[in-house]
Amino acid sequence: MNPTLRQMRAFVAVAKTGNFTLAAQNLHVTQSALSGLIKELEQTLEAKVIDRSTRRITLTDIGKELYPLFSQMIDDLDGALANVADHTSLKKGIVRIAAPQLLSCTLLPEAIAAYRARHPDIEVRLKDTAVEGVIARVLSGEADLGIGPEREPAPPLDARPLFEMPFALVFPKDHELERQARVTWQDVARFPLISLQGQFTERLLDEVQGALREAPLKPANEVTFMTTALAMAAAGLGVTVCMPYAAPLVTLYGLVMRPLEEPVLSRRFFTYTRQGRSLSPAAESFMAFLDEFARRANS
């Protein structure tokens, strides 16, 4: 026995209204089509579910048993379909993002606010973490997507390019470097360097080593968060290197940011998601929006 959804809807409509005319109107079908669906249901069940006379409609004993069951099944299904529709139309949904602390306190709050203005019913949750923790949060499923710099070897995730930026040097106001028309990596080597721990600095040192053979670059302090490096630079403890998207925070700390040359080095940032796992409509929507937002921010 395999009654169809259309047959069950027809039966429930007749049982609710007690009238074929009203039931047909509610279902937007003709009375003959409705009668056909009831007949098909009875043939499928091999049992009568409705007794119909010229004056009234009554449910048979089997019909009385089936009515609450079919009605609940249809209500549950309609509720589930309405929920899916809310998600696909972005009237409901949650996006969980993992991002490094510096991105989380500069570029991303602006992006999230702009996205929420467009999709106010979507909840966006930001998890700020150390750079090395972004990948772990995505792999564990704690975050739907992660945003961070390129990693070698490549993590077992799908990576979508987001933006690329050159390194900049940050130092206090009235520093002797402020009087120079341009600053180079050779200049960086003259002052205590406050850098980030981990692969970020390791890769950077490898890339500049060839250009600084006479005065190799060696960090004086390695910290976990860029805000710590900025605070130390503001206290006159050295200079630091970061991405231009940190400009609002650099200004907040009363520091100066200048592009670094000889050589010009850059970092690529990606959006990371789990391989073989489909994103929710809300997460897909936010990723597309973030691509657009990053392009505008870098233009």
Render pLDDT for 53-109 as a digit per residue (tens, 0 to 9): 767 889 999 999 999 999 999 999 999 998 888 888 888 899 999 999 889 999 999
- How do the pLDDT tens digits run along the chain, 299 residues long? 789 999 999 999 999 999 999 999 999 999 999 999 999 999 999 999 999 876 788 999 999 999 999 999 999 999 999 888 888 888 889 999 999 988 999 999 999 999 999 999 999 999 999 888 899 999 999 999 999 988 877 788 999 999 999 999 999 999 999 999 999 988 898 999 999 887 777 888 888 776 666 656 788 999 988 899 999 999 999 999 999 999 999 999 999 999 999 889 899 999 999 998 999 999 999 999 999 999 887 76
Domain boundary among 88, 119, 146: 88
Same domain, 259 and 137: no
Which residues form the domain of 122?
Answer: 94-163+268-298
Gap between the Cα atoms of 167 and 211, Å rounded: 15
Question: Looking at the structure, do residues 260 and 272 belong to the same domain, yes or no?
Answer: no
Residues 19 and 43 in one domain: yes
* 140 and 210 fall within a common domain: no
Residues 246, 258 within the same domain:
yes
35 with 79, same domain: the answer is: yes
> Quick one: angle between helices 281-298 and 61-88, nearest 10?
10
Number of domains in the chain: 3
Please indicate, yes or no, whether residues 174 and 152 belong to a single structural domain of this protein: no
Q: Are residues 44 and 20 in the same domain?
A: yes
Q: Is there a single domain that holds both residue 179 and residue 233?
A: yes
| Helical residues (DSSP H) of the chain, grouped into ranges | 5-17, 20-27, 31-45, 61-88, 101-104, 107-118, 133-139, 185-188, 199-209, 226-234, 247-252, 281-298
The CATH number of residue 150's host domain is: 3.40.190.10
In terms of C-beta density within 10 A (0-12 exposed, 13-18 middle, 19 or more buried), how is residue 141 classed? exposed
